Amino acid sequence: MNGLILCCIASLIVVSYGSDAPCTNAGGHCQDDHLACHNGHYQSGMCSGGTHRRCCLTSASHTGSFSSGIVSQHCLQCICNVESGCKAIGCHFDVNSDSCGYFQIKEGYWHDCGSPGTSWRSCANDLACASKCVQAYMSRYINFSGCSHSCESYARIHNGGPAGCKHTNTLGYWSHIQSQGCHHNSK
């Protein structure tokens, strides 16, 4: 019996600590740090294996600008600040599923925005791709919702789905957006 318990604990440790998921969830890939990390930098503690196996995070996931579209750059900045401090923070479990990256995009949202980039997680952790997804999502749903073309509507749809601008449960989120300096018609 003690041997079985020890075996199960050892298996749990390997499953818990032997994963590359923290790196891949942040949009990176694990590799030996003697290899070049093209257009990026290495971060320790995100990959299984030895000390020289580290996460290569591309610069594109940390710098750049927002994609253009119907949502103003200022409004996108406010949403990005509220969602992640405008950083590629990887994925976190939130309301029954993972939310990832700069705008904390869920997989369904990514599909609804046209599935840009190579994958949901990598797109969400790349500022240009994630903001392109937000722009496409808003273009798809703003007329469906019957709400005005305003920062308030975009923020509330981002938080509450296609008709989020009509739901009172998104008003608190809008208050957080306003605290970042955005207003109803922020340009």
Are the C-beta atoms of residues 78 and 52 closer than 8 Å to each other? no
Same domain, 57 and 77: no
Specify the higher pLDDT residue, 35 or 119.
119
Q: Is residue 12 part of a domain?
A: no
Q: Is residue 186 part of a domain?
A: no
Last residue of some domain: 7, 37, 63? 63
Q: Is residue 26 part of a domain?
A: yes
Are the C-beta atoms of residues 12 and 42 closer than 8 Å to each other? no
Q: Which pLDDT does position 128 carry in this prediction?
A: 95
What is the chain's mean pLDDT, rounded? 84
Q: Is residue 6 part of a domain?
A: no
CA pair distance 38, 53, nearest whole angstrom = 15
- pLDDT above 90 (res 118): yes
Model confidence band, residue 11 (pLDDT cutoffs 50, 70, 90): very low
- Options 83, 98, 126, 152, the catalytic residue: 83
Same domain, 121 and 159: yes
Last residue of some domain: 63, 94, 115? 63
Q: What is the domain range of residue 57?
A: 19-63
- Options 20, 32, 33, 94, the catalytic residue: 94
- pLDDT above 60 (res 185): yes
- Catalytic residue list contains 94: yes
Are the C-beta atoms of residues 27 and 88 closer than 8 Å to each other? yes
Q: Is residue 10 part of a domain?
A: no
Q: What is the CATH number of the domain that holds 91?
A: 1.10.530.10
- Catalytic residue list contains 83: yes
Q: Is residue 1 part of a domain?
A: no
Q: What is the pLDDT of residues 159-173, one digit of tens each?
A: 999 999 999 999 999
Model confidence band, residue 39 (pLDDT cutoffs 50, 70, 90): low
- pLDDT above 80 (res 23): no
Domain count, the chain: 2
Q: Which pLDDT does position 64 carry in this prediction?
A: 58
Q: How many CA atoms lie within 13 A of 12 on its CB side?
A: 6
Same domain, 151 and 84: yes
Work out the average pLDDT over 50-68: 70
Q: Return the residue matching tokens 């318990």.
A: 5
